């Protein structure tokens, strides 16, 4: 059963504007399924998976292949495996500019998909697809989504055990196959250990010195790994909010595992019951809320924290408004004094406390609303 993705409209729009559309995102997040649903019903579409030897062989002479199929829409999956293909695409596009002609799917950021921005400048539009968002899964309970994360084969698995097994294999394949295919020769055990350390530092400041005390790596190596994990959609770093208040502010970014299911796997959390009892419970909720909001809204996002601990989890800039958001994994959230002091510093237009509540939103204080994640998404999108 196909589940409608929010990006469908944007993908259709981009195909009307650009000759080449690149749809990027983590592997197994549903890119191929989305494109096949929209395009492969058409008889004039060719789909190539570059991890398939037969399909890869068809591009031994890519210019000849494209010429022989110049009347067809061509979709190329795992495009990061042949970065030199972009130069050929440029010449083909320039000879016969036809919008929506090529769709490229990739499991790495545009920075890692080498040469694309140079070779196809003005000819390519970029879109990012995440794993399922909560708003796309109307029939899935929040706790199941939170526990398993949004990857299709994880959230739609028959039970928690099957979901956990899938995530185990996802992480192994990512470390042992995907990263080497991108040209990074990193010992799998070392990368696995670093990824697990990041899970333990989830929702904390990115303190490489502190992390170095746990794992024997240099700052340079750890910084390289953070960048790589971020550009392959596993990590997110959230920058600090810069304001003119005369206080010492925390300047290091905060680090999050982008998918709550992958976070829970790395920490050995196999069920919601275990999650409720685990120290990561609150930070996990914070990461889930932040990932859903940033991905859905696609606006500038930051956190605010002073050296004294006055803190707001998320600051969003939406249409010249400053929106402050605090994440509380409680059905009866109570903000700290530091939260209220931070509000005095920032003076946001709107303030929300996001909690896993099932009741309607309600006012906690003047200009402070307690709300569920789904209701907040609805409010901020209008």
pLDDT tens-digit map of 65-99: 999 998 899 999 998 888 888 889 999 999 988 99
pLDDT score for 252? 92
Q: Which of 22-31, 235-244, 295-304, 310-319 has the lowest mean pLDDT?
A: 235-244
Under 8 Å between Cβ of 144 and 138: no
Asked if the model's pLDDT at residue 116 lies above 80, the reply is no
pLDDT score for 341? 93
pTM, two decimal places: 0.94
46 phi-psi bin (left φ>0, alpha ψ -120 to 50, beta other): beta
Asked if the model's pLDDT at residue 244 lies above 90, the reply is no
Q: Which of 99-108, 122-131, 246-255 has the lowest mean pLDDT?
A: 246-255
Distance of CA 265 to the CA centre of its chain: 17
Helix (H/G/I), strand (E/B), else coil: 351: strand
Asked if the model's pLDDT at residue 338 lies above 80, the reply is yes
pLDDT greater at residue 116 or residue 219: 219
CATH 3.40.50.300 fits 8-128, yes or no: yes
pLDDT greater at residue 249 or residue 374: 374
- When pLDDT is averaged across residues 29-53 and rounded to a whole number, the result is 88
Q: Which of 6-15, 109-118, 137-146, 194-203 has the lowest mean pLDDT?
A: 109-118
Band (pLDDT 50/70/90 cuts) for residue 114 is low
- When pLDDT is averaged across residues 259-278 and rounded to a whole number, the result is 97
- When pLDDT is averaged across residues 126-137 and rounded to a whole number, the result is 95
Ordered by start, the domain boundaries in the chain are 8-128, 134-381
Asked if the model's pLDDT at residue 42 lies above 80, the reply is no
Average pLDDT, the chain: 92
- When pLDDT is averaged across residues 287-311 and rounded to a whole number, the result is 95
User: What is the chain's Cα-based Rg?
Assistant: 22
pLDDT score for 359? 82
pLDDT score for 370? 96
pLDDT score for 118? 63
Q: What is the largest CA-CA distance in the chain?
A: 68
Cα separation, 285 vs 308, in Å, equals 23
- When pLDDT is averaged across residues 208-215 and rounded to a whole number, the result is 84
- When pLDDT is averaged across residues 258-274 and rounded to a whole number, the result is 97
- Over the stretch 144-163, which tens digit does the pLDDT of each residue have? 999 999 999 999 999 999 99
Under 8 Å between Cβ of 269 and 283: no
pLDDT score for 115? 54
Contacts made by residues 365-369, CB under 8 angstroms, sequence distance 24+ = 368/335
Asked if the model's pLDDT at residue 229 lies above 90, the reply is yes
Band (pLDDT 50/70/90 cuts) for residue 1 is confident
């Amino acid at each position: 059963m196909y589940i409608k993705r929010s990006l469908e409209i944007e993908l259709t729009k981009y195909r009307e504007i650009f000759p080449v559309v690149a749809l990027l995102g983590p592997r197994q997040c549903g890119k191929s399924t989305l494109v096949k649903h929209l395009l492969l019903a058409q008889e004039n579409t060719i789909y190539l998976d570059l991890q398939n030897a037969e399909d890869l062989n068809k591009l031994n002479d890519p210019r000849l292949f494209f010429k022989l199929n110049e009347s067809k829409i061509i979709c190329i999956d795992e495009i990061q495996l042949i970065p030199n293909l972009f130069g050929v695409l440029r010449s083909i596009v320039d000879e016969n500019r036809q919008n929506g002609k090529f769709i490229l799917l990739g499991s790495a950021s545009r920075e890692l998909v080498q040469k694309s921005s140079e070779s196809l400048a003005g000819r390519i539009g970029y879109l990012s697809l995440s794993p399922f968002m909560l708003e796309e899964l109307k029939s899935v309970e929040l706790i199941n989504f939170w526990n398993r994360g949004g990857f299709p084969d994880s959230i739609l698995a028959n039970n928690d055990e099957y979901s956990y097994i899938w995530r185990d294999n996802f992480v192994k394949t990512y470390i042992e196959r995907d990263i080497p295919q991108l040209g990074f020769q990193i010992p799998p055990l070392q990368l696995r250990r670093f990824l697990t350390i990041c899970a333990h530092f989830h929702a904390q400041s990115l303190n490489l010195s502190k992390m170095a005390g746990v794992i024997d790596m240099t700052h340079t190596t750890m910084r390289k790994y953070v960048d790589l994990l971020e550009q392959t959609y596993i990590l997110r770093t959230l920058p600090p909010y810069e304001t003119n208040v005369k206080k010492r502010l925390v300047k290091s970014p905060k680090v999050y595992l982008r998918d709550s299911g992958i976070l829970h796997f790395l920490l050995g959390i196999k069920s919601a019951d275990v999650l409720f009892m685990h120290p990561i419970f609150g930070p996990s909720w914070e990461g889930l809320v932040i990932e859903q909001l940033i991905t859905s809204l696609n606006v500038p996002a930051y956190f605010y924290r002073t050296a004294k601990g006055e803190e707001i989890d998320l600051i969003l800039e939406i249409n010249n408004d400053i929106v402050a958001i605090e994440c509380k994994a409680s059905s009866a959230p109570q903000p700290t004094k530091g939260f209220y002091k931070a509000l005095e510093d920032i003076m946001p237009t709107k303030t929300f406390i996001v909690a896993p509540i099932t009741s309607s939103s309600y006012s906690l204080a003047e200009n402070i609303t307690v709300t569920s994640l789904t209701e907040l998404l609805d409010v901020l999108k209008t």
